Chains A and B, each alone.
Chain A
Amino acid sequence: MAAENSEEKEAAETKADRAGEPLLEVEGVTAGYGDIDVLFDASLQVNQGEFVVLIGPNGAGKTTLIRSIDGVIEPKQGKVTFAGEDVTYETPADMLERGISTVPQEGNIFTDLSVKDNLMMGAYTYEGRVEKRLEMVYNLFPILKERSDQEAGTMSGGQRQMLAISRGTMVDPDVLILDEPTAGLQPNLVTDVLDAISRLKEEENLTILLVAQTEQAIPMADWGYLLRSGEILVDDRAGDLLDNDLVSDLYFGG
């Protein structure tokens, strides 16, 4: 009894230490496809200015959770709130208007368009000077400038991810949600992409929710969640995540 109490107390204290105001809140979301549910009563929170990481094995429901947040699919139960307003049933375009940009895991570039056009489409609703955004992106990923006229579908995996991330940031969002931007990449590219995301966060003053399987993402983050079989099992400071048995099982076998 006493031991449980102190664990709960510790968890509560950790949460109280969590910096920033809640910005994006997901509460008790249950979602799925047809009759099959994939996500069960999942809750997470992203605070202003935070870098939150969502980890979990294949098929855990991470993409489903992202799609529920962004409005690609509708949750069967639960609520999504942004800056205090209920955005559960808003479309991706609506979310973008609020400043939330999502980079999906698949189908994240316009394969028929050129690199430059992809970026221009990213900035479709941007009201400032697009050239400045382009400059920012080209600084971050010089290869995109080199290949700006190339058809996006012909690029390599790593380049596509860079383009996908860039497309998502052209509109100068406040919150950037990235679904497994490093999936399937060579380890050195994984590091490059993660570094770029880190720089992006600093330079653009972003709040980030990153879905990743790689443990390299964890040290970059402030807070982390573990999703497994549709349930949030761990909710902790990123620095403490790797100490957690469930998390280390995921990475180091068990």
Chain B
Amino acid sequence: MDAYIAALLCMGAAYSVFTIGYNLQWGYTGLFNLSVFGLAAAGGYTSVILTTSAAGGHIGGFGLPYIVGILAGAVMAGIIGAAIGTITLRLEFGFFAIATLGLGKFLIAIFKNEKGLTNGVWGIGGIPKPLSDVAGGYANWAYGGISVAILIVVFLLAQKLVNSPWGRLQLAIKDDEHLTQMLGKNVWRYRMESLVLGSMLMGLGGAMYAHYQGYINPKSYTDIMWAFLPLLMVVAGGSGNNKGSILGAFVVWGAWSVSEIFAGYLPIASMKIPHIRTLVVGLLIISILRWRPQGLIGRKRAVSSSTGE
């Protein structure tokens, strides 16, 4: 039970950071960015490469500390996010979604193929968990504490951000693009900023996850785990809301991991269980969208008075 709570803290915090980033792009700016799993992977791999030793023909051995690793991961994800944005941002909503989906898959393909960089499908292990040598049996608790600390910092920064004029502008852009273009603001620039900041947070989350797991490979960052499940987290928590993202992340991850435990007790073939869980997640997302689009604690959608159509 203890072990479970420690794990929940680590994973919940990592996902919360990720989801805050995701929500920044989606709930505040209205971008449906499907490359996010690739960004998490980018953050994870960057941090891992910088903090692990070289082995099996891939680069490494920089021996940098955890903090540097995860920050580098965030920066790298931000850079990639900027690159993706330069290519795709002026596309229309639907086109943006599928273009980013394609780019996300492309990113994962790079991680899978460039063995010299990432050790390909064999992944990288021996990822250091900070304080693990000091904390011994309580390593996960220690890391849980660190993760939550990071989360708190991120949350405070994010709250400042969304409550600032910048944040309010993002909401205005999302709700009514015509209005804001009339006001003469450079919409593209604001979207890009949101994209980059969000990407950095997602990379950070991906990196925090990697250091908890101890081992990652390209399959650690599937679209299901890092685009689809977070979608449920954002939608369930209530979009356009940082607290909602954190709540959603912990609740959904908690339910996801608990279901894994319970599923073990049910007389269902183990092969089927992952699919049942995916099914339930899908149904939940759809139900929430259909019947309670504001999520658990989201804000009611403001109706723009200029949209008479």
Contact = CB atoms under 8 A, between A and B. Distances in A.
Let me know if chains A and B touch directly in the complex, using CB atoms closer than 8 Å. Answer: yes
Contacts of B304: 34
Interface string A23-38: 0000000000111100
Closest 8 CB pairs of A and B: A33-B308, A34-B305, A34-B303, A36-B305, A35-B305, A33-B305, A34-B307, A34-B304
Interface residues of B, number: 6
Interface of A: 33-36, 73
6 contacts: A33-B305, A33-B306, A33-B307, A34-B304, A35-B303, A35-B305
Interface in B253-309: 303-308
Interface of B: 303-308
Contacts of B307: 33-34
Which of A33, A35, A36 has the largest count of B CB atoms less than 10 A from its CB? A33
Which of A34, A35, A36, A73 has the largest count of B CB atoms less than 10 A from its CB? A34
Nearest to B308: A33
Contacts of B303: 34-35
A33 B176 CA distance: 15
Contacts of A34: 303-305, 307-308
Nearest to A64: B308
Nearest to A32: B308
A27 B108 CA distance: 64
A73 B306 CA distance: 15
A73 B305 CA distance: 15
Which of B303, B305, B306, B308 has the largest count of A CB atoms less than 10 A from its CB? B308
A73 B303 CA distance: 16
A89 to B, nearest CB: 18
Nearest to B302: A34
A87 B304 CA distance: 28
A35 B306 CA distance: 10
Contacts of A36: 305
B305 to A, nearest CB: 4
A208 B118 CA distance: 75
A73 B308 CA distance: 9
A162 B308 CA distance: 27
A35 B303 CA distance: 8
Contacts of B306: 33
